[in-house]
Structure 1
Amino acid sequence: MTALGFLYPGHSAEDDYPRIEQLLGSDIRVDLVHTDIGEDAHRVDALYETGAPERLARGVQGLRLSGAETVVWACTGGSFVRGWQGAHEQVRALARTAGMPASSTSFAFVHAATELGVRRVAVAATYPKDVTALFTDFLHAGRIEVAAARSAGIVTAAEVATWGEAEILALAREADVPEADAVLLPATALHTASHLPALEKHLGKPVLTANQVSVWEALRLADRRVNAPALGALFTREPIVQV
């Protein structure tokens, strides 16, 4: 049994995690601990505070009791707003506090894109434009080229969590361009675990979503690879056939 630990801010799309655990269909356990988000606002100052060391440290106590072997800070905005260096410092501090390998969703996107050989992406973000720009800056620092980006301008995670497949697909289509090798949806507040096959079918290319890459990253830290086609190209390593 491999136990994966996640620090998840607040309550939005946390039900993606038991869904992903079920779809992995293996000896994988997903343990989720909720952290205090403070103010639910996709503003730089609020997101920065969401990922404050003391908030993450409080969450780590619960994960230690669960027996988790790795930990991922499952919040994209709460990591990339600190910039490339600041996000590295954040996960290093988390690893020291937790006493186990650690990462965050922002780094998971970079590592997952690299795994698939993706160098050019389209970003379909629910964030306001200024926050989306910080995510594209983070990707550039990770040597991922952003061919196009679309911002939905949503301010709260609570609103993002209400979106279904139709809204997610519409945003992804608006963001996608032919030169993009994959489409990225960065919000962990977005329910995507059940929609990955449909998204990849409609777009004809790999789709990377926040909760999906977070679980993949935790598995990577644990040196596990699981084949799970229902979780998209990332979990099969097979290219999507153009339609």
Structure 2
Amino acid sequence: MLPPLPQRSPSVLALDDPAAITRIGVIALATDLTSERDFARGLPLERAALHVARVAFANPTTLDNLRAMGPKLTECTALLPPDVPLAAVCYSCTSASVTLGDREVAAAIRAARPGMPVVTPSAAARAAFGALGVTRIAMLTPYLPETSGPMEVYFTDHGFSVVNHQCLGMADDQEMARVSPATIMDAALAVDRPEAEALFLSCTALPALDVIAALEDRLGKPVVSSNQASLWALLGLAGLEPRVGPPAPAGFGQLLSRPVPLSVFL
């Protein structure tokens, strides 16, 4: 039998203030290779922590497969650290948020976390366009046409004019995560139109953060991506500044210098 271990006196045990770290929850697809990295790059990690739960998902990114995540969101949210305050929860899938509905996603998350501020990339993009003062957008998606079509309907139904829309015709979100910066740049420049006031790069799987600043320089207009808009909303809800700045992390675009309309996510 092992000898008993000596026990330290409780007088030397000190715990940090739980409020010293602002905690943010993310629900990522099981197949997601991009969201965690993108969010971590912009969060001030000395004062913030990212907690991720994965929801079951299987490629291809068809509407039926996206809808299948809906009934799983409440149970998945419950896997985030229990009894720990979170500043907000983000469901990190643009096409599924559009397919399921922003309100329905928020309701499913709040069934496990009542009163929680909820960010969807689609609602974050709408809020971003409002903060940037634009209504006419060009849109690039990596999805299949059947998944891309509802994206255009979504923004049109919310009062935006989609002046041009192109998709890359991809079915696998893990392949979307490997699209090269040069490919994103070329496709984004091709989809832009002079009458578009901003460019939207949809999909949380798409590694678009590194090209945003270059695109804004080339186009002379704002560029919004799914992860950039979600990060912007999460920072605002958490009362945090981006890790690098001001006014925004290098390459993350002008959006991060704009105030977040918090009521959109509450």
- The reply to whether TM is greater than 0.5 is yes
2:235 is aligned with 1:219: yes
Give the secondary-structure state (helix, strand or coil) at the position aligned to 2:205. coil
| Alignment match, 2:8 | none
Deviation at 1:183, TM superposition (A): 0.6
| Alignment match, 2:25 | 5
| Alignment match, 1:161 | 177
| Alignment match, 1:70 | 88
**Matching residue's letter, 1:235:** L
| Alignment match, 2:40 | 18
- Paired residues of 2:61 and 2:172 also in contact (CA < 8 A): yes
- Paired residues of 1:181 and 1:205 also in contact (CA < 8 A): yes
- Paired residues of 2:25 and 2:80 also in contact (CA < 8 A): no
| Structure 2: runs of 5 or more not aligned | 1-20, 260-266
Highest CA radius of gyration, 1 or 2? 2
Deviation at 1:72, TM superposition (A): 1.1
Report the TM-score when normalising by structure 1.
0.86
Deviation at 1:219, TM superposition (A): 2.8
| Alignment match, 1:87 | 102
Deviation at 1:181, TM superposition (A): 0.8
Q: 2-side partners of 1:200 and 1:26: how far apart? A: 29
Q: 1-side partners of 2:46 and 2:164: how far apart? A: 36
Deviation at 1:13, TM superposition (A): 1.0
Q: 2-side partners of 1:134 and 1:190: how far apart? A: 18
Task: Determine what percentage of the aligned residue pairs are the same residue.
Answer: 27
Which of 59, 65, 74 matches 1:40? 59
**Matching residue's letter, 2:137:** V
RMSD value, Cα: 2.2
Which of 170, 188, 197 matches 2:204? 188
Give the secondary-structure state (helix, strand or coil) at the position aligned to 1:184. strand
Deviation at 1:112, TM superposition (A): 1.0
Deviations, residues 169-202 of structure 1 (Å, cap 9, x unaligned)? 1111121101111110111111122332122222
- Paired residues of 1:72 and 1:217 also in contact (CA < 8 A): no
Q: 2-side partners of 1:102 and 1:212: how far apart? A: 16
Give the aligned length: 231
Deviation at 1:31, TM superposition (A): 2.8
